[in-house]
Structure 1
Amino acid sequence: MKKHQFAIAAMTIACGAAHAQSNVTVYGSLDAGVAYVNDVAGKSVQRVDQGTMQPDRFGFRGVEDLGGGLKANFQLEGGFATDTGASTNASKIFNRYTTVGLSGDFGAVTLGNMPDIVFDYAGKLSNGFQLTNFYLFHPGNLDTLANTYQFNNTVRYTSPAMSGLTVSAMVGFGEVAGSASKGRNTSAGANYVNGPLRLALAYSKQNDRAAGYAGTFLGSLGLGNAGTVFNSLTTWAAGGGYTAGAWRLNALYTQSTVDLPTSSFKQKNIDLGAAWRYADVRTLNFGYTRSKLGAAKYDQFSVSHVYALSKRSEFYVQAAYQNAGGAAKFAIQNNTGVAAGDSQLVTTIGIHHLF
């Protein structure tokens, strides 16, 4: 009897293993270009920049069909620099995503290290993403649209699409004994896609986060440095996109509030962008951004041309110009360095390849 029961169990396991189907995808992006910046600390600079059109990255993505509409999935993704080969975070191999989860008719539950929902939903409507130019993300990236800060120890739920509407919520645990809020990160949002129309609304709050990447920008305004720790950083974002024929239009508003132990300040950003695909392999991009932090303001104008060499390779020429005004004495575009004056121009000629 016991042998009979064991044989049935073994057959059940074998059938289950035969039914489950899995696949793993290896993917990545390499991007490098020759850049010229007319003013970094008062001097012009020529350099090879990486990840301008898309971030340099490599990753593994896998899905296993467990049957009954249930799937297990994972993603491992790391960022690096094509120009040097270095990791963007020396302490983490997979510094962009390390996630595992389940998905089905109920939606999806994902656990691990991942960007917030402001990046995931609203970020795709920004000039930086839509016009494929890293310089167009906002000074200091306080609103996280450039994905320079991920949530650790995170649980995220994403609903199934309901007439084009998807909602998500996530929490990254601070894991500090005796304090549920210390180091905790939270985010939520809604994403609506219906034919040529896309709309997004998203929220994010990070507790006890070091300024890090934003330190250079804040330093130019006398508001901090890379080691400055925010009591909290709260971001709201709302935007939309529409495709009409050869034109793709995008608009986005973000507002980030930084609370320090003795003060607070708020950054507001407005993106307006347009991409015109005037031939099968040629696209012209135009963008304008207004960024304000208190009495400091920054106006940015951009133009670029992208030529598709194939479905995976592109040649591009880009230019972005920023003028600082009000209390802002120094221009500082994303990833360029602080100018000695109130204006800064950066141009790039490069090639991008996906695999």
Structure 2
Amino acid sequence: MIAAAASCLSAGAFAQSSVTIYGSLDAGVAYINNLGGGSVSRLDQGTMQPDRIGFRGTEDLGGNLKANFQLEGGFYTDSGGVPNSTKLFNRYSTVGLSGDFGAVTLGHMPDVVFDYVGKLSNGFQLTNWYLFHPGNLDSLANTYQFDNAVRYTSPTVGGFQGSLMYGFGEVAGDNSNGRNVSAGATYGNGPLRAAVAYSKLNNRAAGYAGTFLTSVGLGNATTVFKSLTTYAGGIGYTLGSVRLNAAYTQVKLDMPTGLTPKQKNLDLGAAWRYATLDTINFGYGLSKLEGARWNTFSLSHVHEFSKRTQWYVQAAYQRAGGDARFAVMNGTGASGSTGVSGGQGQLVTTIGMHHSF
């Protein structure tokens, strides 16, 4: 009788909690011209969606209050390696509470620019890693996250939701060193979605942007910005079988040399579901950094075997102009980092498969 009662109590307790294991695997054969003095064919990882595995869970605490956690780490399907050997869960490592008041989340996570505006960019909407902007300085791709962060997200009221985020620098005697702040708002109503966001990161390392900075003579992989300030906005609209998106970002780079150049990026995209299981994506992107500019054009086709499995063919072409001497497409470098072409033009084509679970 005691064992039966314990079993019932245990079953009741577990019924109040849930844990989900999820992930994404993506691999394709890519051809890249004008790279390292020639062309290259290779197996690419995470082109349509980033390779990742995660754990997400909730516990019902009663009174509409829930405890939440998320652990998510990235990896490379083509090699089994990881983007950051020092962080097991490099994409998300959070715990928090949610309820009628909204949600409070603590830990390691991307900023509000990625969460709100990044999902309206060409890289996300047209499912092509190569379409994120040179160096990913605006963080529209999840390659840089806040450590030691606290985020508050409001409940959704009339389609509106807002979010504030603060990352502690945790440097004794200098509260601004390494401090990160971010904020934004999003609106959704039927076929319309819009978002604005802001982030300011102090003492951020160049990271993926190192190769890009070298190509324009502003820095290198060891560069640490005094601050990196991003303003971003985006909009999406679905009209029947056509989905449209646009995004704009402006990034102010406060360099250790005292220079303060600005990178400006514009995305325009369209996706046409011309058949039940088939979609064609069209995209155009413009990036400017002072007198340099890069125009990126893209075309892709996605066939859905199911909601979890897709086959795709993609092509992206970038042309440098103005003071820019080289194409600098995000993703053409090693392990998906920014690469520098051997000239002003570069073409990337990929045929691959994506599966989520």
* Alignment TM class, shorter chain as reference: over 0.9
What amino acid does structure 1 have at the position aligned with 2:352? G
Q: How does 1:13-92 map to 2 (within 5 A)?
A: 18=13, 21-92=16-87
For the 8 Å contact 1:113–1:150, the answer to whether it is kept is: yes
Match of 1:7 in 2: none
Unaligned runs of 5+ in 1: 1-13
Q: How does 1:219-230 map to 2 (within 5 A)?
A: 219-230=214-225
Instruction: Tell me how far apart the structure 1 counterparts of residues 331 and 221 of structure 2 sit (CA, whole Å).
Output: 14
Instruction: Tell me how far apart the structure 2 counterparts of residues 274 and 20 of structure 1 sit (CA, whole Å).
Output: 43
Alpha-carbon deviation of 1:18?
A: 4.1
* 2:228 corresponds to 1:233: yes
Match of 1:320 in 2: 316
Alpha-carbon deviation of 1:42?
A: 2.1
Q: How does 1:187-198 map to 2 (within 5 A)?
A: 187-198=182-193
* 2:187 corresponds to 1:185: no
Alpha-carbon deviation of 1:177?
A: 0.5
2:67 aligned counterpart, secondary structure: strand
Deviations along 1:205-252, one digit per CA (max 9) or x if unpaired, are 100011111000110001111110100000000110000100000001
2:203 aligned counterpart, secondary structure: strand
Q: Quick one: structure 1 residues 224 and 19, their matched pair in 2 at CA, closer, same or farther if it must change by over 3 Å?
A: closer
2:204 aligned counterpart, secondary structure: strand
Q: How does 1:96-175 map to 2 (within 5 A)?
A: 96-175=91-170
Alpha-carbon deviation of 1:61?
A: 0.2
Instruction: Tell me how far apart the structure 1 counterparts of residues 311 and 207 of structure 2 sit (CA, whole Å).
Output: 32
Instruction: Tell me how far apart the structure 2 counterparts of residues 85 and 161 of structure 1 sit (CA, whole Å).
Output: 39
Aligned match for 1:267, one of 263, 266, 269 = 263
1:264 aligned counterpart, secondary structure: coil
Aligned match for 1:333, one of 322, 326, 329 = 329
Aligned match for 1:310, one of 277, 283, 306 = 306
Match of 2:297 in 1: 301
Alpha-carbon deviation of 1:33?
A: 0.2
Structure 1 window deviating more from structure 2 (18-27 vs 43-52): it is 18-27
Instruction: Tell me how far apart the structure 2 counterparts of residues 212 and 18 of structure 1 sit (CA, whole Å).
Output: 44
What amino acid does structure 1 have at the position aligned with 2:230? T
Deviations along 1:175-230, one digit per CA (max 9) or x if unpaired, are 00111111000000001000000000000010001111100011000111111010
Alpha-carbon deviation of 1:311?
A: 1.3
* 2:250 corresponds to 1:255: yes
Segments ≥4 residues shifted beyond 6 Å: none
Instruction: Tell me how far apart the structure 1 counterparts of residues 88 and 151 of structure 2 sit (CA, whole Å).
Output: 22
Aligned match for 1:216, one of 211, 218, 221 = 211
Instruction: Tell me how far apart the structure 1 counterparts of residues 14 and 327 of structure 2 sit (CA, whole Å).
Output: 59
Deviations along 1:293-319, one digit per CA (max 9) or x if unpaired, are 000000010000000011100000000
Aligned match for 2:273, one of 253, 262, 277 = 277
Instruction: Tell me how far apart the structure 2 counterparts of residues 166 and 353 of structure 1 sit (CA, whole Å).
Output: 31
* 2:348 corresponds to 1:349: no
* 2:290 corresponds to 1:288: no
Alpha-carbon deviation of 1:321?
A: 0.3
Deviations along 1:259-302, one digit per CA (max 9) or x if unpaired, are 01321110000000000000010000000001000000000100
Instruction: Tell me how far apart the structure 1 counterparts of residues 207 and 65 of structure 2 sit (CA, whole Å).
Output: 39
What amino acid does structure 1 have at the position aligned with 2:289? L
Instruction: Tell me how far apart the structure 2 counterparts of residues 119 and 36 of structure 1 sit (CA, whole Å).
Output: 28
For the 8 Å contact 1:290–1:298, the answer to whether it is kept is: yes
Cα RMSD (Å): 1.5
Deviations along 1:298-346, one digit per CA (max 9) or x if unpaired, are 0010000000011100000000000000010001111112111100000
Instruction: Tell me how far apart the structure 2 counterparts of residues 18 and 98 of structure 1 sit (CA, whole Å).
Output: 25
Q: Quick one: structure 1 residues 19 and 257, their matched pair in 2 at CA, closer, same or farther if it must change by over 3 Å?
A: same
Q: TM-score, normalised by structure 2?
A: 0.94
Residue correspondences, number: 343
Instruction: Tell me how far apart the structure 2 counterparts of residues 40 and 239 of structure 1 sit (CA, whole Å).
Output: 32
Instruction: Tell me how far apart the structure 1 counterparts of residues 121 and 312 of structure 2 sit (CA, whole Å).
Output: 19
Unaligned runs of 5+ in 2: 1-8, 333-338
Matched residues, percent identical?
Answer: 70
Match of 2:335 in 1: none
Alpha-carbon deviation of 1:19?
A: 9.0
Instruction: Tell me how far apart the structure 1 counterparts of residues 198 and 105 of structure 2 sit (CA, whole Å).
Output: 18
2:226 aligned counterpart, secondary structure: strand
For the 8 Å contact 1:20–1:65, the answer to whether it is kept is: no
